[in-house]
Structure 1
Amino acid sequence: MKFTKRQWMTLLVIGIADFCNAICVSLQAPFYPQEAEKKGATATEYGLVFGIFELVVFIVSPFYGQHLNRIGPKVLFNGGIYTTGVCAILFGLLDKVEGHYPFITLSLIIRVIEAMGNAAFLTASFAIIAKEFPDNVATTFASLETFFGLGLIVGPTVGGALYQIGGYTVPFAVMGTALFLSAIMTNFTLPKHEQGTDVETGSSIWATLKIPGVLLAASSIIVTSMSIGFLQATLEPHLRQFGLSPIVLGLMFVINGGTYALSAPVWGWLCDKYIPPKTVTIIGTLLVAVGFCLVGPAPFIPINTSMGVTICGLVLHGLGMGAQLVASFTDALRTSIAYGFPNNLETFGLISGLWTSTFALGAFIGPSVSGILYDSIGFRPSSMFVVGVHLVVGFIVGLFLMCTRRSAQYVEMKDDKIGNGDLHAGESKSGTISISESIRSIRSVANGISIERSRPPGMNSLIACNSYKSQAWPRKDANGLSMGPYSYSYGTIDARRNGGATYLQGVA
């Protein structure tokens, strides 16, 4: 991949901010519960402090996505990092608060504001990626997810080490300051995009969810984050039978996250170059399902729980996570544009908000459901819940692929040698264009989008089609318009000399 200097700088600063941000939102896990118990808080109360973070991200992300174009992605990005950094530092001062209820109340308030900053940062970063890397969305998205994944892995380890060195305040002060400094760096480095108005009427997150392909991508995100939350809440009790030391137990939590961080760029490269995103999604659902069958293992597997089998299951889970999360963002973006959404920052913001929101929803549901199931029936039977929802999503996506391949609604037809002169010559000779002679490549959008290879690299390759917005003339202005045998009722024809490409765009 050949990136410009601007693209490399954008990738670098967002990666650093991603890494620091992930550490800040995850570093308190090893020691906050203990501090909260010293103040008289119950497990339910400090559990709510963790859970409310994802709930707030779920609620506010669609708002950020819908108003991203008016706010500006750079402003939203930097504002989110500043907010998260300041809240991290303030969270480190909570040990100075006396009293049970003041401690919990301030914890919740700071955590809510921190979640709002985190949602702003993530939504803006995804939109900037889509804007700056239009031809490599999946690869760059996956690369930055690697930084974020590494931050989530390193966060509890760094937090625990700094807590041991300097007490409760030191981890938050150090990492909050680091994130604040990264925000200053991005302020001078990130490119500035033109601001506009809010998303046009009808182009809301609900409008995108009405598209079947986007709804399936959102479902994939939800079940994937549910699987992550499921293990966060139940893996430690499940492994107590082995009497593991804290260090080894911590490493067990790193296995799936580390595998995800390492495999995400590979999945992104495959989505961009070789495999359709929905196919990658199906592969991911199967990997997660098989992985959870081994972690337990499943009740129908006649073996006892063992460390070796559990580790294999966690590795497969990490591979499946990478496949689903990377493919879902790319798929939702391509599919929404293929269904007529504008190929601009507004749509990028909507899909970014959708991804962030649905991931947070799954992260909120996962631990809640897993706790109830674990208390009721134990880990091995309850793990079948994750297996079941992934197999259902994979089956529906597979069925969707088969149906859309049978009834492709749009094809792209290109001939490097056909221009206006050739078009008229062809029509005068036979009355119609000879399709068999003029087509050099036909690619359907059964998998979400048609990519036009003949465009220059600097132009966005995503083609809005299958919509009245993609016609050469608006329908209301097309009365009486006729081009030989063609009229607006059956489609439009646009003959261009640029690259010699001729397109026939059918109206759905």
Structure 2
Amino acid sequence: MNTTSGEKTESHSATGYKGLLRIPTIWIMMFALFNSAMSTSFVNPAMAGHLESFHLSPPVLGLLFLLSGAFYSVTAPLNGMLVDRFKCHLGGMMVAPAAIIISLSLNGPSPFLPLTKSLPLVIISQIIFGAGLSTLQIPTYRNTLEAAEKAGFEDGTATYGLISGLFEAVYSFGAFVGPTAGGLIQQHFGFAWTVTVISAFHLCFLMMFSVFYIYKKCKRKEEDINA
């Protein structure tokens, strides 16, 4: 009786967080979520200081702050529909980091670009930033759930709870690192260099995910041939 109970406990722990963290896809999705939280938690508070030089009125300043959130809200349901209908969750996650890199580079603007800081650039960057974030965040849950199911996890509330808990932890960690590390970098090197560093994280994810995407495509073709 005791032996059976012990076996059940061991089996449960193997399919809990330990089992989830053994799946490579999960780590890639967590990196995407971390980058998303880090970017948002740094850019949103830092924008106030970044926009000071434009001497904008409070209503205009408020509208600029709303831009990224508004476009996130508009594009999130659209991205959800596209992912659900066309199964384009992998392709979308290749476009998203590229869009975020462009938006952050324009917002700085990045020292590597021959651009000067201007209000139109900030507006364009905020729009792209909001749309890019929703395109990055929406498919992560779907990808994680599919990876968990392929690894043997049941399609049920227990698995949903595990993934949700993991996502909350990773997002909170990114939301902590963003303003903390970002604030330190900004203090010593300025806003433009800080968003460039954050862009580098998204570039790392883009390269990592591109390799993952190509691997998945090749594996799927191989499975189709064998079938």
Over 3 Å counting, the alpha-carbon distance change for 1:267 and 1:239 in structure 2 is same
Aligned partner of 1:390 in structure 2 is: 202
**Map of 2:5 onto structure 1:** none
Q: Does 1:320 align with 2:132?
A: yes
Give the 3-state SS of the residue equivalent to 1:341 in structure 2.
Answer: coil
2:183 aligned to 346, 371, 394, which one? 371
CA distance in 2, matches of 1:231, 1:325: 17
Which position in structure 2 is the counterpart of 1:229? 41
Q: Distance in 1 between matches of 2:221 and 2:101?
A: 33
- The residue type equivalent to 1:298 in the other structure is S
Inter-CA distance 306–245: structure 2 relative to 1 (3 Å threshold): same
Shift of the alpha carbon at 1:201?
A: 2.1
In structure 2, C-alpha distance between the alignment counterparts of 1:241 and 1:314, rounded to whole Å: 17
Per-residue deviation, 1:391: 1.0
State the partner residue of 2:66: 254
Counterpart CA distance in 2 for 1:206 and 1:228 is: 29
- AA in 2 matched with 1:389: F
**Conservation of the 8 A alpha-carbon contact between 2:13 and 2:19:** no
Match runs of 1:149-168 below 5 Å: none
Normalised TM-score (structure 1):
0.41
Deviation digits for residues 422-454 of structure 1 (CA, Å, limit 9, x no counterpart): xxxxxxxxxxxxxxxxxxxx599xxxxxxxxxx
Contact 1:288 1:390 in 2 (8 A): yes
State the shift of 1:332 in Å.
0.5
1:219–1:228 distance in 2 versus 1, CA, 3 Å:
same
Give the corresponding residue for 2:81.
269
RMSD: 2.1
Partner in structure 2 of residue 345 of structure 1: 157
| Matching residue within 13, 18, 22 for 1:206 | 18
Shift of 1:281: 1.2
Which range is displaced more, 359-368 or 274-283? Answer: 274-283
In the alignment, the residues of structure 1 paired with residue 65 and residue 31 of structure 2 have an alpha-carbon distance, to the nearest angstrom, of 25
* Partner in structure 1 of residue 107 of structure 2: 295
In 1, the alpha carbon distance for the partners of 2:133 and 2:99 equals 8
Among 262, 286, 294, the residue aligned to 2:98: 286
Alpha-carbon distance between aligned partners in 1 of 2:221 and 2:173, rounded to the nearest angstrom: 33
Aligned 8 A contact 1:226 1:366 in 2: yes
Q: What whole-Å deviation, never above 9, does each CA across 1:130-174 have from its counterpart, x for those lacking one? A: xxxxxxxxxxxxxxxxxxxxxxxxxxxxxxxxxxxxxxxxxxxxx
Q: Quote the offset at 1:230 in angstroms.
A: 1.2
What secondary structure sits across from 1:201 in the alignment? helix
* Cα distance between partner residues in 2 of 1:214 and 1:279: 17
CA distance in 2 between counterparts of 1:225 and 1:443 reads 40
Selected match of 2:148 from 333, 336, 341: 336
Superposition deviation, residue 253 in structure 1: 1.3
Correspondence for 1:356: 168
- Supply the distance in 1 between the matched residues of 2:202 and 2:154 (Cα, whole angstroms): 31
Aligned identity (percent) is: 26
Tell me if the contact between 1:278 and 1:327 (Cα under 8 Å) persists in the aligned partners. Answer: yes
- Which residue in 1 is equivalent to 2:4? none
**Which has more radius of gyration?**
1
State the alpha-carbon separation in 1 of the partners of residues 195 and 52 from structure 2.
17
From 27, 42, 57, the equivalent of 1:245 is 57
Query: How many residues get paired?
Result: 218
Larger RCO, structures 1/2 (Cα 8 Å, 6+ apart) = 2
Going from structure 1 to structure 2, the CA distance change for 1:443 and 1:235 (only over 3 Å counts) comes to: farther
5+ residue gaps, structure 2: 1-8
Q: TM-score, normalised by structure 2?
A: 0.89
1:420-431 → structure 2 map (5 Å cutoff): none
CA shift digits 1:61-91 (9 cap, x unpaired): xxxxxxxxxxxxxxxxxxxxxxxxxxxxxxx
Higher helix share: 2
Off by >4 Å, runs of 4+ in structure 1 = 408-411
Q: CA deviation at 1:352?
A: 1.2
Counterparts of 2:35 and 2:134, CA distance in 1: 13
Q: Are the counterparts in 2 of residues 234 and 370 from structure 1 also a CA contact under 8 Å?
A: no
CA contact (8 A) 2:75 2:131 kept: yes
**Alpha-carbon distance in structure 2 between the residues aligned to 1:410 and 1:338:** 17
Q: Supply the distance in 2 between the matched residues of 1:216 and 1:206 (Cα, whole angstroms).
A: 16
Q: 1:408 Cα shift?
A: 4.2
| Unaligned runs of at least 5 residues, structure 1 | 1-196, 412-441, 445-503
